[in-house]
Amino acid sequence: MRKLFGTDGIRAVAGEAPLDAKTIYAVGLALAHQLNGSHQHPRVILGMDTRESSPWIAAVLATGLCKGGAEVESAGVITTPAIAFLARRHGFSAGVVISASHNPWQDNGIKVFGSDGYKLPDETELRIEDEIFRRLESVEAPAPGDPPAANPKYRADYEEFLRSAVPGLDLAGLSVVLDCANGAASAIAPDLFAHLAGTTHLTHRTPNGRNINEACGALHPAVVAAETKTLGADIGVTFDGDADRALFADAHGHVVNGDAVMLLAARDMQQRGLLRNHMVVATTMSNMGLEAALRRDGIRMLRAPVGDKYVLERMQQEQASLGGEQSGHILFPHLATTGDGLLTALVVLDIVRRAGRPLHDLVADLKVFPQVIVNVRVREKRPFDQIVTVAATIRDAETELAESGRVVVRYSGTEALARVMIEAESEVAMRHHADRIAAAIRDELGV
């Protein structure tokens, strides 16, 4: 059972365990030691988002890595998928990102990619965890210092990769709104889209260390949807803090989520002979409406646990060429090793451009089942099947909904939350069961 690593690295309030200086230093030492076991002269590429805590966390982590015998280089403020790309492209032993993705500015995190550009397997994270705890018994936090100086060539390399991944894309005649979430996309999107012609409206691109994800970005897609409609633009795109995912808006001001993007991409890839085994890998959170729409085109939909890491694992098992999450993590393994919001934006814009049809028209037949997600803050994460009242309430919902809905109850991998997702043809039944299950969890585990 992992104690530090969640579904997307280590994440906590910056300055508090496990993101206090002593633990961060131990993480650097432990990671360097692991790398020394498989690389003769380990090199690590480091990147970070725009939170005010990111520089000092990067400085402490780099100190630990260097003390452990690794060489550290920095790409500065850059997206998470950029570090995955750079680790693989430049032969680094590992890539590390300081980011808490969509979380508020007070939080931060440490994400690690291997030399192949993929997130670490669970067993590797467990080995690192064990060593971190051993080292915490003896290490002291280092004196505060400065993070490694950023080398601008790495950002340029990543931007060149994005342009080459979707060659010939020309947005002339299109008007696009880009919500950068005051996060890492703010450092990349302006220059990237300036080379694509068209009219680009950049919003939420002035990070101050504390406004990342604040009433903007992929957590608040209605914001870019409203801006797209107000400006009379063709498409809106919104990223999260580290830009590993993207959501969209059509010209009518409607949000277009990851399910719709997978439908759009699956049809395009199937037409071009790129959709291997006629399948898409989604998660337990994807809507039943997506499954039905794909089925009409002869495409199977498989489900993986929540987390793009687990989607990718299922894709590799099934040899699938497209997968993703409703939240906007979309995986194109023929292009990249991890979800990339900027890459997804370029792919979607390219599909719209080649189709010669508006975004809303391309996904108009996606009939979404009513779905609600209720978050319950919890004090501990006990297995639901071990809590009699909670387990009984979940069984009641599953029995009543049967083939006309779905029940997914899980803990967040990054926060102290239980997530109750109910999907049903009847909105009344959906809300009834979501409220009952949430109340049962709140009574037993609520803060």
Q: How many CA atoms lie within 13 A of 321 on its CB side?
A: 16
Q: Which residues are catalytic?
A: 101
Contact 305, 111 (CB under 8 A): no
DSSP H or E stretch at residue 164: helix 152-165
Distances (CA, A) of 402 to 56, 63, 285: 51, 55, 17
d(CA 219, CA 240): 7
Chain center to CA of 96: 15
**How many C-beta atoms lie closer than 10 Å to residue 335's C-beta?**
18
**3-class DSSP state of 280:** strand
Name residue, tokens 């199937």.
270
Q: Please give the single-letter amino acid code of residue 433.
A: H
Judge whether 114 and 16 are in contact, CB under 8 Å: no
Q: Is 341 helix (H, G, I), strand (E, B) or coil?
A: helix
Q: Cis omega before residue 152 (within 30°)? A: no
* Lookup: tokens for 387: 């809590």
d(CA 139, CA 134): 9
Cβ pair 347, 166 in contact under 8 A: yes
| CA 375 – CA 120 distance, rounded (Å) | 28
In contact, 417 and 375? CB cutoff 8 Å: yes
